Amino acid sequence: MNSTPTADRVALVTGGSGGIGKAVVEKLVSDGFAVAVHYAGNQAKADAIVADITSAGGKAISVGGDVADENAMAQAFDAVEAAFGGIDVVVNTAGIMILSPIATLKLEDLDRMHRTNIRGTFVVSQLAANRLRAGGAIVNFSTTVTRTSFPTYGAYVASKAAVEGITLILARELRGKDITVNAVAPGPTATALFLDGKDEATIANLSKAAPLERLGRPEDIAETVAFLAGPARWVNGQVIFANGGLA
């Protein structure tokens, strides 16, 4: 099966209106992709990103919907295919993180993370498995904390460990379709999701934890995603740790 040339490739980025998702959108556009910027609630932000891309000569649309709602996401896939003729890459950056010791976590918060992080990844990956063109790539998102085991991350890590399991098995189930499936596991990265609720001392300590002695930037993670979305055709069924060497 022939893969689609990069200049003609189309990507759908869930959670593409902020943080790492926005950096991924910008990187893929710079690599020549047409990109669908997915949003869950902030359409204005997604539309502004699309306007910036199109005014600079790029190709982009915005699509909305709850990633855990299979009907809403099927409609999003429909919209991307109608606009650009097909989909080659799906990047699942959409996710939520609620930190608490396991002993005191509200179970409704566990359910919220399960719905977005696990069910959402499963729904979007399932659609992608059935609709991506040959030469395509699915890129899911885990976290380095599945290995570092920081306190208060228990429920979040549980959801991301599930994402890793989905990713590794789907890669093997798509044998013969010429579609790669990988996950990116960022380390501490300077996004609103990561910084929210942390004091300056905690942020300073985490910024020194990696040998490179800084927090990651969304652009650092986007570079890894772009590698998996484009040239990395022999990388499949892997979890790639983009964390500056954090053990």
Question: Residue 121's Cα: distance from chain center in Å?
Answer: 9
Any domain includes 114: yes
What is d(CA 1, CA 172) in angstroms, rounded to the nearest whole number?
Answer: 18
* pTM reported for the whole predicted model: 0.93
pLDDT tens digit sequence for 97-116: 999 999 999 999 999 999 99
* Residue 10 predicted with pLDDT over 60: yes
Q: What is the pLDDT of residue 7?
A: 53
Strand partners, 39: 64
Give me 238's structure tokens.
């892997």
Answer with the residue of higher pLDDT: 4 or 108.
Answer: 108
Any domain includes 196: no
- Structural domain including 81 reads 6-189+220-242
Q: What is the mean pLDDT of residues 6-17?
A: 88
% of the chain with per-residue pLDDT over 70: 96
Q: What is the mean pLDDT of residues 176-188?
A: 96
Residue 98: exposure state from Cβ atoms within 10 A (0-12, 13-18, ≥19): middle
Strand partners, 175: none
| Residue 193 binned pLDDT confidence (cut-offs 50, 70, 90) | low
Residue whose entry in the numeric block shows the structure tokens 């992080």: 117
Could you say which of 156, 194, 227, 241 is catalytic? Answer: 156
DSSP string, 141-159: E--THHHH--TT-HHHHHH
Q: How many domains does the chain have?
A: 1
What average pLDDT does the chain have? 93
Any domain includes 104: yes
Any domain includes 131: yes
Any domain includes 150: yes
Q: Is 39 a catalytic residue?
A: no
CATH number, residue 172: 3.40.50.720
pLDDT tens digit sequence for 149-166: 999 999 999 999 999 999
Q: Do the beta carbons of residue 186 and residue 93 sit within 8 Å?
A: no
Any domain includes 50: yes
